[in-house]
Amino acid sequence: MLSQYLLRKYLSFARTTAYDAGKVLLKKSHRRHKITLKGRVDLVTDADLVSERLICGAIRRAYPDHAIIAEEGANYDIESEFRWVIDPLDGTTNFAHNFPFYCISIGLEYKGKIIVGVIFDPERDEMFSAFHGGGAKLNNKKITVSGETKLERSLLATGFPYDIGSSREDNLKQFRRFAKRARGIRRAGSAALDLCYLACGRFDGFWELKLHPWDTAAGMVMVKEAGGRVTDFKGNKYSIFDKYILATNAKIHRQMMEVLG
């Protein structure tokens, strides 16, 4: 594994870059947006593209030998032990409707393992950051997952896939089951921020399906470093390329697995 010095260096770079992208998004947040449809409910705005260019440009200048995978296609596909995983605007639908719940998500993978995660919410000026073995922080203050042990007292988070209108696998069955068991469920529209809220104890558990690598890369390391657990629905090791994710404070993980069946 890399030295603490290098991990902190990558983390600092990701924090600065996410902050710069966040300033751009804030400036654009209350203007009219040019919107392109990738699907019926899958949007891209001009802000997504500007943010991605800023982030990927910064990476290419600072680390030209690192690969990049980004949501809107500004990929840099080279052979490298390092790969940055970028969501320039997680919560695009929220952003397009002036609903202030969105973020920038930047993860760094080394030899197939996510080692750094930074997620910045410019609306609340909340910077979540974590690196392997270094714990997780919110605005430089250490965070940990909740201590809740009962699903019945838990507040959960989830989302719905973009093909909800056409696919039979739509998360509605799981949502119904959890609605009858948990204290509450929130569907706020940003998986990256959901994972951060889990990491700092605002949520106790999170599940979702059909996400993409950029949705979970940074949030995954955030939850783990805050003391939580991340698997697939069956409790197996989770990869950012997996179809199903279950993340919890670790204490209600098995209870959520049982509901997911």
Please report which confidence band the pLDDT of residue 38 belongs to, taking 50, 70 and 90 as the band edges: low
| Both tokens assigned to 181 | 């068991």
Model confidence pLDDT, tens digit, residues 214-259: 999 999 999 999 999 999 999 999 999 999 999 999 999 999 999 9
| Cβ contact 34:46 at 8 Å | yes
Nearest C-alpha neighbor of 119 from the set 199, 207, 7: 199
12 burial level (CB within 10 Å; 0-12, 13-18, 19+): middle
- Quote the CA–CA distance of 17 and 255 in Å, as a whole number: 38
Quote the pLDDT of residue 45. Answer: 86
Mean pLDDT of 164-177: 89
pLDDT tens per residue, range 46-78: 999 999 999 999 999 999 999 999 988 888 899
Q: Mean of the per-residue pLDDT values for the chain? A: 94
The predicted model gives 98-109 an average pLDDT of 97
Domains identified in the chain and CATH numbers: 4-143 (3.30.540.10), 151-260 (3.40.190.80)
* CB-CB contact of 69 with 213 (8 Å): yes
| Torsion of Cα atoms, 40 then 46 then 52 then 53, to 10° | 140
